[in-house]
Structure 1
Amino acid sequence: MPDSGSTRRYHRTMRPVEPVTPRAPRELRHTLFRQEWRDLVFLHWPADPFQVAGLLPPGTVPDLHNGRAYVGLVFFRMRDLSFGGAPAIPYFGSFDEVNVRLYSRDAMGRRGVVFRSLECDRLVPVLAADASFRLPYRWSRIHSRWFDNRLLYRTSRRGASNAEARVWLEVDSAPMAADPVEEFLTNRWGLHGHAFGRSYYLPNTHPEWSFRRCSLLGWDDSLIAAAGLDQPQEAPFSVLYAPGVPVRFGTPVSLPST
């Protein structure tokens, strides 16, 4: 891990790291917004922890599992986005998304994810997320479709960039259990970001994951390299499919200055 003054101050003030749990370790005080995640596909590869450290917001460090860092490529359908207790937003509140994410923790011991890019096929949510949380959303073309028990996702970023990704999956109806590394990567109860000169933690909560057996039929990706990481050359070591969960997000909390 790079030895910077910021990192040394982080370690002097850090609290014990929260455990990896199948449900959120704390209740939300308030619900900022709600949404549903459906037909999730998680692909994961090992990542260079030095690269990861240089891509995280101030006040966070890579969250390692047995000394290893990871990068995730996640495909899913976002549905029924709403704020507080209001009804779901029609049209603009439902879209497909593909994100590149890293794994982080802060000095309070909270584990989270850091999004390096989020592909979205609706322009208005892209503009809103950038204005409010400075999340790196990109307006993209995303196609998703079921063919019997086979699921296809395909995305390509609009504009001059040729960043794109594709996954082709066969899904079984039988349940499957995640292994310890997969639990570490998917049981995440917040995100770390940086906006308006401050780093923040945005908590979330949802029911326990339910995964199904699946087989990877094909994949292609250039989003990870576009996000500043080495492009994976091998197939992902972990492939997971989940039918979906309802999700609630709380209000953001500023991280201590480092």
Structure 2
Amino acid sequence: MGFNAEKLLSEVDHRLYPRPDGPWAMSMTWHDLLFMHWPVPVEVLRPMIPAGLQLDTFDGSAWLGVVPFRMSDVRPRFLPSVGPVSNFPEINLRTYVTADDRPGVWFFSLDAHNSLAVRLARATFGLPYFDATMSLKREDDTVHYRSRRAPLAEFSGSYRPTAGIERSHPHTIEAFLTERYCLYAPWGKTGVRRGEVHHELWPLRKAEAEVETLQMTEQVGITLPDTEPVLHFAERLEVLAWVPENTTDRKARR
């Protein structure tokens, strides 16, 4: 394992709610993330979110994010990472929701350059993963990124940090967009599953980007507003993940 899981588990003061008590199931490291976010009217996104989830807002708007990055050392607990199976680029389209007072992420799509990871993630986590042709190259502090899933989703561009690390503070846009420690996914026809994650406070940096192609939201019928996105960069983050739980079953057992 590339990092000390026990040490990571002991760092909890920054969390909005306690980390899970049970054993984590997977570990991974995320690299060279670009967070691109746009405000979107609530009435546009609300119909796309299950009734059991509350759509989160900041400054009166819901937010839509496009996040390209690279994953490494993705592995189940007690097993080693395995070459290209555990290391691959990914890009996701997301918004932000809450259930049971636990703010989380709702993914519209996750594209990855790893067919095995796509199928395992669909089967294990119930997430909308898709195969895509992707490439990522870093030159000094600039990341050159390409992703294409014809004909529905495509991103190409370059991005880089423009300042040092600034840890987010509660009630700021930075915290709203990044400090979330679970994801939500559909389960059956009407249910929702929650997958918990744990990591340190995001090491965010201001960023700039030169985007050549951005066609990630057309797949859900949304046109991005004609405004500059809010941009953040994070170079590296170590992450632990738990097996998703059906929130409906969880409530019934209380």
The 3-state SS of whatever aligns with 1:174 is coil
Equivalent-residue separation in structure 2 for 1:171 and 1:252 (angstroms)? 33
Give the one of 230, 233, 236 matched to 1:244: 236
| Residue 61 (structure 1) shift | 1.8
Which amino acid is the alignment partner of residue 220 of structure 2?
A
The 3-state SS of whatever aligns with 1:128 is helix
| Residue 80 (structure 1) shift | 0.7
Q: Compute the TM-score of the two structures, normalised by the length of structure 1.
A: 0.83
* Superposed CA RMSD: 2.1
Q: Compute the TM-score of the two structures, normalised by the length of structure 2.
A: 0.84
In the alignment, is residue 103 of structure 1 matched against residue 96 of structure 2? yes
Equivalent-residue separation in structure 1 for 2:175 and 2:119 (angstroms)? 32
Counterparts of 1:79-118 in structure 2, within 5 Å, are 79-106=72-99, 108-118=100-110
In the alignment, is residue 220 of structure 1 matched against residue 213 of structure 2? yes
Once the two structures are superposed, residues 66-119 of structure 1 have per-residue CA deviations (whole angstroms, 9 ceiling, x without a partner) of 32100000011011111123222332111100000010011x111110100111
- Give 1:13's aligned residue: none
Between 161-170 and 64-73, the greater mean CA deviation after superposition: 161-170
- Give 2:138's aligned residue: 146
Structure 2 residues without counterparts, runs of 5 or longer = 1-12
| Residue 234 (structure 1) shift | 2.7
Equivalent-residue separation in structure 2 for 1:32 and 1:177 (angstroms)? 27
Equivalent-residue separation in structure 1 for 2:221 and 2:98 (angstroms)? 20
Equivalent-residue separation in structure 1 for 2:236 and 2:116 (angstroms)? 24
Cα 1:66/1:174, change in 2 over 3 Å: closer
Cα 1:212/1:157, change in 2 over 3 Å: same
Structure 1 residues without counterparts, runs of 5 or longer = 1-20
Equivalent-residue separation in structure 1 for 2:124 and 2:49 (angstroms)? 19
Which amino acid is the alignment partner of residue 123 of structure 1?
S
- Give 2:185's aligned residue: 193
Equivalent-residue separation in structure 1 for 2:16 and 2:241 (angstroms)? 11
In the alignment, is residue 234 of structure 1 matched against residue 224 of structure 2? no
Aligned length, in residue pairs: 234
Which amino acid is the alignment partner of residue 239 of structure 1?
L
- Taking only the aligned residue pairs, the percentage that are identical comes to 25
Which amino acid is the alignment partner of residue 229 of structure 1?
I
Cα 1:145/1:54, change in 2 over 3 Å: same
- Runs of 4 or more above 4 Å deviation: none
